[in-house]
Amino acid sequence: MLVIVAPGQGSQTPGFLSPWLELPGFADRLAAWSDLAGRDLIAAGTTADADEIRDTAVAQPLLVAAAIAAAEDQLANDSARVSRQSVAVAGHSVGELAAGVLASVISSDDAIRLVRVRANGMAAAAAAEETGMTAVLGGDEDAVLAAIEACGLTPANVNGAGQIVAAGTLEQLATFAENPPAGARLRPLSVAGAFHTHHMASAVDALAAAASTVRAADPLRPLLSNRDGAVVKSGPDWLDRIITQVSAPVRWDLCMQTMATLGVTALIELPPAGTLTGLAKRALRGIRLVGLKTPDDLDAGRKLLAEHTDSHADSHAPEWRLLVAPLAGTFRAPDGHPAAAGPGAGVTAGTDLGHVEIRGGNHRVAATFPATIIEWLVEDGDPVSAGQPLVRLLPQAAE
């Protein structure tokens, strides 16, 4: 099985789009999407310097547009052919919008409209407070997560292969840097704010309003979610995940675990490639990798795609899904909730499954689809980390 992945913010480099614009139709697509994005995407990908494309409002639309154009127009020559291939799709952070297009959940134009709102909202949220992110490389994972939580930070990206990204205020990050976890290296990231944390709450609201006008179809191919690595079967569920993911941790480690479960033996990373193939090389050893860094890599990608034509791509997709903690804190289950009955209890979309207590308030945890509880992974009063699995659910459609 093959998986096509779209990279997220931070993967962009000055001028990366230049060789792609030489391909027939590529520039036309980017020019049309520039109007929807409210940005000159061609200039952003060719003449803009590193500081300009570091701007969240520029970087996110640029990355989504580049990934979609490369996949639909160049890798498979037409979007229908992508949908027919036996491949799964996944995106890292903002790359999830490109993955949604390749799974035929939303149109490319809707993806660009949504990424414009997402990017502007996250940029505004970042400007409201001095926050940032630091990559933690190596060290014992439990010790790293404990150190992050001790400083009041959030593990915003749990990327696997020994890489976790801590996010929070600059003061919290400075405290963290003074006493790093044993055996770990810290690398401050050149980003505008603490993405995928509660600091992005205002951007969630803006994206939810924009998404309310978008029709989301059910995926035509296995589509992995950053929330918990699940294979998403419902378009509305995917859209809800895209919205809440703005302020919730990216669990790319769980996405790669699902890739292994699905039997993935090959991976193609869309431009600007490099980051996700690097993680896969360490976490999914032995699989074939193609990173589309320039159009020179297209022949290798097309050959790999042509080899994967089995129509039963999702036959081994796990039916259960995990509900994870949105933030670090203490889990509390409401009294009298069906969860008290243990495994086998039914829940509906919107059912209150408890909340995570944090300093200054709490964050509600709710089911986003009708399901049956398989097992609880935490108990009332347990301390939880951001992204920690709370309960395993079986969607009603899978029963």
> CA-based angle 277:280:284, to the nearest 5?
150
HSE-up of residue 212 (Cα within 13 Å, Cβ side): 6
User: Residue 130 to residues 4, 127, 180, 194, 264: CA-CA distances in angstroms?
Assistant: 35, 7, 21, 9, 40
Please give the helix or strand (H or E) that residue 188 lies within, else none: strand 184-188
Sign for the CA dihedral angle at 58, 199, 92, 353 comes to negative
Pick the catalytic residue from 11, 34, 93, 104.
93
What the block records as the tokens of 100 is: 């949604």
299 CB burial (10 A radius; 0-12, 13-18, 19+):
exposed
Measured CA to CA, the distance from residue 298 to residue 314 in angstroms comes to 25
User: Residue 254 to residues 129, 260, 321, 366: CA-CA distances in angstroms?
Assistant: 30, 10, 11, 20
Give the residue from 94, 106, 85, 37 showing the smallest Cα distance to 60: 94
Are 304 and 2 in contact by the 8 Å Cβ rule? The answer is yes
Instruction: Give the three-state DSSP class for 68.
Output: helix
What are the φ and ψ backbone dihedral angles of 313, each rounded to 5 degrees? -65, -35
Are 231 and 96 in contact by the 8 Å Cβ rule? The answer is no
Q: Which residue has the tokens 């640029």?
A: 62
Pick the catalytic residue from 196, 199, 308, 355.
196
What are the φ and ψ backbone dihedral angles of 135, each rounded to 5 degrees? -80, 135
**Can 196 be counted among the known catalytic residues?**
yes
What DSSP designation does 259 have?
A: H
> Which residue(s) pair with 310 in the sheet?
none
Catalogue the active-site residues.
93, 196
